Structure 1
Amino acid sequence: MTRPGPSLLARAAALLALAAVSLSVSCKGASVQVKRSVPADLAVSAVVVYPFGFRWETPAWRAVELSQRLVDVALAEAAEQALFFGPTEVRVYRPDEDNAWAASDAVAVLAAYGVRPDSALVLRPRAEKRVQAGQRELVDSRGRTVGQSAQEAVTYLGTVEVLHPATRQVVLEVSGEAAADPFAEVTDEGADPAPELTLLMADLTREALKGLSGTLKPPRAPSPPVATSVAWVPWETLELGPELAARDALDAELLRQQRLRFANPGLEPAVLDTLARKPGGLYVRAAPAGAKLAAGDIVLSLDGRPVPPQALARTRLAPVPSEARVQQASGQIVSLVLP
């Protein structure tokens, strides 16, 4: 007796099951869960990174600066593979809606770069904070209770979700958790209020970019870089004005220094001191010989808008040049066409 082969519907169901892959990977000692259902024929030339979705109360600038840190991770991994847009470059009206093109003005932003809506992704980062509080008895050498101490254990649960708004499908989801270490040495003058969360989200973003391997396709061949190393002076992008105005002079200066340090992890204190006196923009630390920009320049704006790092990186892939307003090391302000 000959058995009939599987029906077309059954074969299709099997293929769909194979397409949605869930796996666990180890990332710097932490367990990371990856759910991947990226279509094999998906080609993407732009990624929009949403403001960070904190599931607890934080200042508005925190959602921007942590998301911007993830953009920096993406630029380090794939700056020549796609156009990246950060949390202040797109207005997001309803961040949890999967029809992101209707819930933001991203389509208009992408159109200026010749990117079709079906050739772009949205990266949505978010995190929850779980707190377990308790008390610990303190005993002396004779075993007698001599007091109590309060203890609080904080765990961050982070997720990076990659959405294809044209089909309203989440094509990739990477999640993990990290415990806060209350005894960790503070090395950044308190600039990062949640270093374990920052490290976790950076790792999840790198894992998401690995999951998109083969999917990112640059819209055109990149032009040579106009700068090889920059530092970000984030005053305008973070919109710190209202909070600075509400603080006394000492606290306001401390906040500025901390946000500058967070925006430029690992930067030498002497350079940070120099940047603290600069206007908002991108400070050029190094540039190729013969480039239009030189070390010591600060790019104040591109096409009349504030210039986070990804804006300068996009000039290498953009269909038309951008007009940059630049303060040169001499103090003179000039207009340049980039790239």
Structure 2
Amino acid sequence: MTTPDSASSPRYSRIAGTGSFLPPRRLTNATLAAELAAQGVETSDDWIVERTGIRARHFVDAGVNASDLAVQAARHAIEAAGCAATDIDLIIVATSTPDMVFPSTACIVQHKLGVAGCPAFDLQAVCSGFVYALTVADSMIRTGAANRALVIGAEVFSRILDFKDRTTCVLFGDGAGAVVLEASATPGILASDLHADGKHVGILCVPGTVSGGQVLGDPLLKMDGQAVFKLAVGVLEQAARATLEKAGRTDADIDWLIPHQANIRIMQGTAKRLKLPLEKLVVTVDQHGNTSAASIPLALDSAVRSGKIRRGDTLMLEGVGGGFTWGAVLLDF
């Protein structure tokens, strides 16, 4: 960690290491289609690929929770950063599928990592969660509230899917991704831009809650796919351009675009609006499906470990999700 020399020196945050974890159970479209057919729901590999670009996803087994995935991703990120879990002084977990109502999944992760004392909390912005969490961690490091943060996106969306609704159940998967964000004298995270508009709550939601030991409402995911699509491409471009302007950069400075992995058409549409060749688009949606808050850090770690992303590259991360939330982060890796 290259920290500022004095209290008066500029203070920034940089990603020191990345990590990810996918549960072992992998379902191809053909496998999922066969399982759905047994329940009277018809779909096919061609139907799914044509509309989404998804070919496979991973589901957890019974008894495996978001914290279990998060811990594995965190350990990989900590190892890549060359530090120890005890060096972490802030833990933020972005998730919409926590282990419990409370305590936070972050506190559970903290305990499983064998550390204690540092602040740990969850952040709920659905598929934009990792972008939100990274921005919060960057702000805390810049102000001196933390020196080394563990930022995780972890989801078990298979637990909240309606497997009678072929328009949604084929889209999502489980997984976790993480980064270690460190204080640095050299800029890493350059700028971010976050937004939300609650009037769109109904187009993507899980309209259920727990009260008196009973589930009130519907505890399964509901989505108006066309409405989400129409909003997503436009707001993602706006957030990306606002972030570039804040950083004093242009489209041409982006080496890699890492969007939320929801739908290949949304992702490609955003890249085209930013005048980026599709070769600069990091794509894992075909193998992971939509893993909500985990999708960006999963894609980031995949590209880093494959050698595609290298130190010094400029990355644009962007997400859009239920809420309706959206945002972008520009960083020098």
TM range, normalised to the smaller chain? under 0.3
In our comparison, the structure showing a higher alpha carbon Rg is: 1
Q: Which has the higher contact order (CA 8 A, sep 6+)?
A: 2
Q: More helix per residue: 1 or 2?
A: 2
Question: TM-score under structure 2 normalisation?
Answer: 0.26
